[in-house]
Structure 1
Amino acid sequence: MPHRTLTVIGGGFAGLTAAISAAEAGATVTLHEAHRTLGGRARTADGPYRTNDGPHALYRRGPHWPWLRQRGLLKPLAPLPLRGAAGLRFLHRGALHRLPPLGLLRLRAHRDAPVDQDFLTWARTRADETTVRAAANYVGVATFHHDPGALSAAFVQERLRRTTNLPPEAHYPAGGWGRLVDRMAAHARGLGVRIETGARVDALPEDTPVIVATHLDSARTLLGDDRLRWTGARTVLLDLAVRTRGGDPFALSGLDFSGWIERFTCQDPGLAPHGEQLLQGQIGIAPDETRADGEARAARLLDAGFPHWRDRTTWRRTSVATGRTGAVDLPGTSWRDRPAIDRGDGVYLAGDQVAAPGVLGEVSFTSALEAVSLALSTGLRRPAANGRPGHSR
């Protein structure tokens, strides 16, 4: 392959993956990040509470797992405390349970879920209503959506299988996702990648292929392409620090509604000061609901699984994430229908809302590798007649 020059816009997981992959292929890479720190939504806050921008996990069977491991970027990982008193709990029919309904695990075994039918309609022919609703709400952990049952059956069923696999697929970088970002950035620099932070890009360079690894909203503005849209979730993100108490679970899943609370210090005590526990949660809310609606459902989970949490609270923060938690596919659509990676004339997209398979961060990873492959196998950028890059879809 002849020597090439490549520009990457965005320093999150997708952008760093693209930069590393391109540099390994022999390209000269410059990465621009608008913020002063790298990471995108994978940033970890400084200070006494090392929170991520929403819960994150690395799925062991995903394509990024061996890629990170081969480069020495995967570990250290925090252990998963899923057994014993600190394990996983489920809020179902208003009560706390150690196990989900047996029918939920049976439902996950079906592999014939269609793309063009919603999950609830499809699953009702295979299980009772209570089981179907519980399964749909459980998948909120991997969709951040308020009503996963209304999404494509194929989309939901894949996530039901992945989130109920044994041993569990979800793992967490020790010290927060920021540590993984730091390792990736150091590796990229070691390969010769030029990383510029605090460098917002308002116009694309015309002499190199460009990978735009930003949120889809930012890509739409930068490229001037109003078609860069896809359905996303609307989610209340909760960060909560409480004084330590014996018996708190590691994680609590809502089966009566879509919601998830996780005690990250159960596996990684250094994320909060000594004597305190850091909880992070996600509660899907509908377009017409408010943050208070999500907070009320979060309180139901906390009341069930974390006794006296209000009296124990030492710090709290909530926010609303709109379309910032990855793509969700409605009935009749799949990942193939999302905005294409190749936008024409040497411009490529990477991120968690574009046309690439996978669960959560796997979409960012896979799209980044595909974008690099396309960028390094085609010619230099050719500006479109109107000054904007061309579009393939």
Structure 2
Amino acid sequence: MHRITVVGGGFAGLTAAITAAESGATVTLHEAHHTLGGRSRTADGPYRTNEGPHALYRGGPHWSWLKQHGLLEPIAAVPALEAGRLRFHRGGKLHRTPPLALLRLTRRPAGQAPVGQDFLSWATSQVGETGARAAAHYAAVALYHHDPGSLSAAFVHARLRRAASLPPEAHFVRGGWGALVDRMAARARELGVRIETGSHLTELPATEGPVIVATSLDAARILLGDHSLHWPSGRTTLVDVALRTRRGDAWVISDLDAPGWIERFTAQDPTLAPAGEQLIQGQLPIAPDESKTDGAAHAERLFDLGFPGWRERLTWRRSSVAAGRTGAVDPPGTTWRDRPAIRRGDGVFLAGDQTAAPGALAEVSFNSALEAASLALTSSGVEVAR
């Protein structure tokens, strides 16, 4: 029988395993952690936090695939009432509307921004420096990078357009992404995928058939002994707080003076926190010389503005740093095609969010997983199920 091994049980690994199994391959999946999910895990307990928002963009390819497989629902959209509580931080104050220059940039046609120029320079030539900086900082919600203006103009502009689309493309898995992981794992097992958790591999398994490595790039570099597996990413302080509910709190605060995003996730999914409480997350990109404390202080300044009396209402708090776990960012002169290739040779294929695959956020993991599974199946002489 045609055998395929998948290393990594996150979103990419499960997508690859399901795709391979649907085409008739015998699939074994190894996950080092005792639970599946990778960075798509949702915390246990009364406060169901994710490592970042993990928004599903409605226009993305994984949306259609999950829907076709019966894995998408239940899903939550942004309530119309809450959308009116989006606030923009400029000059130390919260505003209800963004600068006109930012809106003008979001309406520039896709593909107009150049690959070889940094976003800040290009955007400044279009709308002036003040508007360009505001747009770069707003785009950080889809980048997790401390200096979005330094990245490729084409890369940032594509994500700016999607992050600012109306109606919002972003939807959210009810119960957190862990609920989606559970549905995907159940589907994989139905197809006969053998899932081994707590299986920490230090080298590629000695097995017949192709191997799909669906881990972080750092883990893949060690596992494959391939020092070429590098690509820049972001570094972000995540601050999760639970507050007693108060009417009138902001839904989102987008910091336009510096990259930063605060979101009240119970606005679209009340199940994430106990009744009478709301779960809020701050995502504050930090530079290489900054610490988690710097990011947390930034979050608190925004909390002070959008959530009056939040310290007295605080019931729970947690903070962490997401380093190298925020997806690829493309410097000027590069595109997704320049990232580490999916095909590694000798029957080994790479999947994950820092690989040579298109898309935003989780779409990169998904697209690379489909491509890796397709290449692995083809190399085994298996016709890919469509």
Q: Quick check: TM above 0.5?
A: yes
Contact 2:8/2:31, CA 8 A, preserved across alignment: yes
Partner residue of 1:96 out of 94, 97, 102: 94
TM-score (norm 2): 0.95
Per the alignment, residue 253 of structure 1 pairs with 254
TM-score (norm 1): 0.94
Contact 2:237/2:284, CA 8 A, preserved across alignment: yes
Identity, % of aligned positions: 68
Deviation digits for residues 69-110 of structure 1, max 9, x if unmatched?
Answer: 011100101231243586321112222122211221111222
Contact 2:9/2:37, CA 8 A, preserved across alignment: yes
Deviation digits for residues 140-168 of structure 1, max 9, x if unmatched?
Answer: 10001111011110100000111111111
Contact 1:82/1:250, CA 8 A, preserved across alignment: no
Alignment of 1:106-125 (within 5 A): 106-110=104-108, 111=110, 112-125=112-125
Per the alignment, residue 67 of structure 1 pairs with 65
Per the alignment, residue 375 of structure 1 pairs with 376
Runs ≥4 in structure 1, deviation > 6 angstroms? none
Distance in 2 (CA, whole Å) between partners of 1:379 and 1:344 is: 14
Q: Which amino acid aligns with 2:143?
A: T
Alignment of 1:48-63 (within 5 A): 48-63=46-61
Distance in 2 (CA, whole Å) between partners of 1:295 and 1:237 is: 8
Contact 2:51/2:322, CA 8 A, preserved across alignment: no
Q: Which amino acid aligns with 1:361?
A: A
- Tell me the SS of whatever aligns to 2:319: strand
Deviation digits for residues 224-280 of structure 1, max 9, x if unmatched?
Answer: 001111101011011111111111122111111101111111111111112111111
Contact 1:55/1:281, CA 8 A, preserved across alignment: no
Of stretches 309-318 and 103-112 in structure 1, the one that deviates more from structure 2 is 103-112
Aligned-pair distance for 1:379? 4.5
Alignment of 1:111-150 (within 5 A): 111=110, 112-150=112-150
CA RMSD in angstroms comes to 1.3
Per the alignment, residue 273 of structure 1 pairs with 274
Q: Which amino acid aligns with 1:192?
A: G
- Tell me the SS of whatever aligns to 1:232: coil
CA distance 1:352–1:106, shift in 2 (3 Å) = same
Per the alignment, residue 285 of structure 1 pairs with 286
Per the alignment, residue 384 of structure 2 pairs with none
Aligned-pair distance for 1:221? 0.3
The unaligned stretches of length 5 or more in structure 1 are 381-393
- Tell me the SS of whatever aligns to 1:126: helix
Distance in 2 (CA, whole Å) between partners of 1:51 and 1:283 is: 16
Per the alignment, residue 301 of structure 2 pairs with 300
- Tell me the SS of whatever aligns to 1:139: helix
Of stretches 108-117 and 237-246 in structure 1, the one that deviates more from structure 2 is 108-117
Alignment of 1:189-228 (within 5 A): 189-204=189-204, 205-228=206-229
The unaligned stretches of length 5 or more in structure 2 are 382-386
The count of corresponding residues between Structure 1 and Structure 2 is 378
Per the alignment, residue 363 of structure 1 pairs with 364
- Tell me the SS of whatever aligns to 1:327: coil
Contact 1:272/1:278, CA 8 A, preserved across alignment: yes
